Amino acid sequence: MRLLALLLAFLLPVPAPPATADIDSYLREYRSDNRIPGLAWAVVTRDGVVRQGAWGTTAQTPFLIGSVSKPFTATAVLRLAETGRIRLDEPVRTYLPWFRLADQTAAARITVRQLLTHTSGLAQWASRTDRFDNSREGLARSVQDLSSVRPQHAPGAAHEYSDANYMVLGAMIEQVTGQSFGEYLHQAVLDPLGMRRVVTTPAEASRTGLPPGHRYWFGHPRPFDRGYDTSGVPYGYLGADLESMTRFASATLGDCPGCTGWVDIGGGSRYGLGWRESRVDGLRTVWHAGATPGYFAHVVLAPEAGVGVVLLADVYSPLRDGALAAAAFNVLRLTQGAAPEPVPADRLLDAAPFAAVTIVVVLGVFLIRPRRRPTVAATLGWVTAGLAVAAAATTVPGLLGGNLQQALLWTPDLGWGIIAVIALGALLVLVRLARLLTASGRKALPRRPHSAQQPTPTSPPP
């Protein structure tokens, strides 16, 4: 029998793994196209790393992983469920009695599972994120601020992705365990996996040497270090190096109770307990991407194929989200012997900061152009135009899913461009109105008789 097995193993075709050069070549081009200063990546199986690379950084350099923090938080919650300390279908108030919303009936009905699957009813921007609050009470305080928030949907009625759900889960973990979220995360998830270079506090950020990330300024990365945000760890401010992330990815491939999609989120995708589930070229894939101002991370797992991809980059902009997120999926395709899919460039988004500068220049020209005698009709036209431009500029952050404060944090070139447009639009209105009022005032002054304006005749010189 052993001889037959060896013979069959020899005769049956075994798919050859993709050449490392193929992945290297693709990712080098990806790094160049997106001007990524530091890029670290790995392909893993259940047994560990198959191949990896790092350019402009190392496998031991920590990165902030953004919303890839959510699968870690979900895993921590599942550890509590496995030991019977919580039940997923119990209301969260069972474990976090002080949890409040503006709608108290809804708050009392929201379950732990609904928080995990983003079906609690909380809106995407229910809570302010990126607080940079490193106090012991920072996470609890962010949840207490939800007391004035009214849910967007009834609990369980719809999926709406919201960081607020994972804020609440983090506070629940603190309440149940009596530990800080970071302490319990170390105990239940990070340390058992041997994840040594991780960041859950400012002290760990300093100890591991967390470097500044980068934001784009008109397409070019510039270093940025706003500081660490302990209050944001459950939803987005966990940090880890490539080596640690590959340990998590390999372990998740082998045992991932949260990888089954529970909720239909459209487009053939589902959301599970901290993971998205979709298909890449017909292959079932569970994944999560994430970003903070300055960093981007992506973990893509194909459990049936037994392979996963980890990608970490030290630059980010929401305007380039699609281009940055494409790489990990394409590396997965390469592992399966398929070709990468091209990523169409979103020229409109890329052009947004330049468009803001162009509008600023045009407004500036109209402000300093030579004066002409203003008329009421012309002034009304300029006032309307200035107000329209300023009003339109104020709506741009909302169209991108945030507000002006977030635009300044995540896309500073566009954010300052919007402020300049609003300021110059308002200034144009004020200047045009002032010119009209000044001209009208001159017209209204009484004029002296013509004879009175003639010089008094004098005697001719002798």
Over the stretch 26-67, which tens digit does the pLDDT of each residue have?
A: 999 999 999 999 999 999 999 999 999 999 999 999 999 999
Long-range contacts at 143-150 (CB < 8 A, ≥ 24 apart): 143/96, 143/99, 143/167, 143/168, 143/171, 144/98, 144/100, 146/99, 146/100, 146/101, 146/122, 147/100, 147/101, 147/102, 148/102, 149/101, 149/102, 149/122, 149/123, 150/101, 150/102, 150/103
| Tokens (6 digits) for 297 | 């991370």
Higher pLDDT among residues 412 and 386, named by residue: 412
| Tokens (6 digits) for 44 | 């893993």
pLDDT at 62: 97
Alpha carbon distance 413, 324 (integer Å): 19
pLDDT tens digits, residue range 441-457? 666 556 555 554 555 55
Question: What confidence tier does 120 reach under pLDDT thresholds 50, 70, 90?
Answer: very high
Averaged pLDDT score across all residues of the chain: 87
| Residue 432: alpha-carbon gap to chain centroid | 40
Alpha carbon distance 48, 66 (integer Å): 23
- Other CB atoms closer than 10 Å to residue 329's CB: what's the count? 21
pLDDT tens digits, residue range 204-245? 999 999 999 999 999 899 999 989 999 999 999 999 999 999
What sign has the CA pseudo-torsion 373, 378, 382, 383?
positive
Reduced to 3 states (helix: H, G, I; strand: E, B; else coil), residue 159 is coil
**429: Cβ contacts below 8 Å, ≥ 6 apart:** 382, 383, 386, 387, 390
Question: What confidence tier does 422 reach under pLDDT thresholds 50, 70, 90?
Answer: confident
pLDDT at 8: 32
Highest mean pLDDT among 14-18, 180-184, 455-459: 180-184
Long-range contacts at 443-451 (CB < 8 A, ≥ 24 apart): none
Q: Give the side-chain half-sphere CA count within 13 A for 43.
A: 22
**Topology classification of domain 20-335:** Beta-lactamase (3.40.710)
Strand 239-240: give its sheet, edge to edge. 63-64, 239-240, 198-199
pLDDT at 393: 78
Residue 461 has pLDDT above 70, yes or no: no
Residue 94 has pLDDT above 80, yes or no: yes
Q: Are 293 and 410 in contact (CB under 8 A)?
A: yes
Residue 202 has pLDDT above 90, yes or no: yes
> pTM of the prediction?
0.85
Higher pLDDT among residues 370 and 406, named by residue: 406
Residue 378 has pLDDT above 90, yes or no: no
Reduced to 3 states (helix: H, G, I; strand: E, B; else coil), residue 154 is coil
**Domain locations along the chain:** 20-335, 347-441
Residue 440 has pLDDT above 80, yes or no: no
Question: What confidence tier does 9 reach under pLDDT thresholds 50, 70, 90?
Answer: very low
